[in-house]
Structures are given as C-alpha cells and as structure tokens.
Structure 1
Amino acid sequence: MSASAAGYLARRSAQKERVRILYRRALKDTLNWAVHRHLFYKDADELRAKFDANKHVEDLDTIDRLINDAEATFHKFQHPDPYIVPWAPGGSKFCRNPAPPQGIEIVYDYGKEDKD
C-alpha cells in the first residue's frame, strides 16, 4: 500500500469517526428538545435523513466542509438547558448526601444500645 493510500484511509477513518460522534451528540440533544417520544421519533427521523443525504459524497475536502458546517449548526442550536440524569455529575441529586467531615465518627448500632 502506498503512502497516499494510507493517508487517504487515515483521513477517511477520522472523518467517519467525527460523523459518528456528531450524529450521536445531535441525537442525544434531540431528546432535550422533544418532551414526548412521538415527537422525538419524528425529529430523529429528520436528523437521520439529513445525515443520509450526504452519505455518498466521496470528495474528502467536501466531506470536511460538510462536517464543519454540521458541527457549527449543532453548536448553534444546542439546547441551553440539557437534561442531566439526577444522580450524574451536575444532576440535582449528585452528592446530595456528601460524606461527613473529617474527625466525625458515625456509629451504626441499630438498636444495640448499651444496657447500663
């Protein structure tokens, strides 16, 4: 395999990875905009159609331009207040009950009180 073929394959592989990541991020962001599943399914189909429209483009420079335009559009229309799972970092229940400060000992006796 020549150096130019290896370079082509490496660049094409990187483009495929960028498209995959962009599609997944856009699909997850669609969940933030659609409050009901029937709305999400419609929006997800439209998103998939946008990606499939350029599926057969072969020119590497055109593909890079399309990816850059799609990433810019994604960042422009990204949801300002995305849904975060409550117990995940940034969620409303994350570290709700933090560990006690150093020097405080908690004894779990659960009914085994001293009988003096």
Structure 2
Amino acid sequence: MSLAANQHIRTVRLYRHTLKTILSWAVDRELWFSEVERVRAEFYKNSNVTDVNQRERLLVKGQEKLREFQHPDPYIVPYRPGGSLYARNPPIEKGLHQQLDFGREDFGH
C-alpha cells in the first residue's frame, strides 16, 4: 500500500472518529450538525494538499486535537457492549417456563 493511500485511510478514520467524538459532546442534533459542518469545512480546506510530509503533519495535528477533545464519558449506542441498555434483562432461569400465548392456544381438544 502506498503512503498516499495509507494517509487517505487515516484521514477517513480521523474524520469518522471526530464525528463520533462530537456526538458525545453535542447530543442535540442541530448543534451536532453545525459542528459537523465546521469540521467538514476544515477537512475540505486541506483536501487539496498534495505534499506527503504536509499531509502527515496535518494528520498528526488532527489526531492530537482529537485526543484533546475526547469526552470523559463517551456516548455509546444503547444496545452495544457498554451501552445503557446492553444486557439489561438477565436471561430467564432454568426451570422457568415462558408462555407467550397467554392462554389463547388451541391444542385441538
């Protein structure tokens, strides 16, 4: 893989992680969208940089800025591991029977 392709992948990952970090700080979608527009403009401003060394400096600067703005309690999707609803209901104990038809079954009797 070429250095330019590697830098492109790192840039896309940095952009995605930045958007996820913003979501942790701005739960209100309108505020989130305005922050996303600001970040997108900054990425587009640097999209025409062709010098490999300058790209690397921009990537390192962006990664440092992302680390600086990491949320101490990041948002986690509720049903993902660590989320607020993950494994919320414990499994049913052995020996207990769950009847889902609530007495409306027809056994042909």
- Give the structure-2-normalised TM-score: 0.80
Fraction of identical pairs, as percent: 38
Give the corresponding residue for 1:66: 58
CA distance in 2, matches of 1:92, 1:107: 28
Q: Which has the higher contact order (CA 8 A, sep 6+)?
A: 2
Is 1:106 paired with 2:96? yes
Q: State yes or no: 1:41 paired with 2:33.
A: yes
CA contact (8 A) 2:21 2:69 kept: no
Structure 2 unaligned regions, length at least 5: none
AA of the residue aligned to 1:80: P
Deviations 1:5-32 (A, max 9, x none): xxxx711111000000110110121122
Q: Deviations over 1:40-79 (max 9, x none)?
A: 1211111011111211111111111110110011011111
Are positions 1:14 and 2:6 aligned together?
A: yes
Tell me if 1:91 matches 2:83. Answer: yes
Structure showing greater Rg: 1
Report the residue type matching 1:72 in the other structure.
E
TM-score (norm 1): 0.76
1:93–1:37 distance in 2 versus 1, CA, 3 Å: closer
Q: How far has the Cα of 1:100 moved from its partner?
A: 4.8
Which is worse superposed, 34-43 or 11-20?
Answer: 34-43
43-52 or 79-88: bigger deviation? 79-88
- Number of aligned residue pairs: 102
Match of 1:53 in 2: 45
Residues 1:77 and 2:61 aligned together: no
SS at match of 2:70: coil
Counterpart residue identity of residue 68, structure 1: V
Specify every segment of 5 or more residues in structure 1 that has no aligned partner in the other structure, as ranges.
1-8
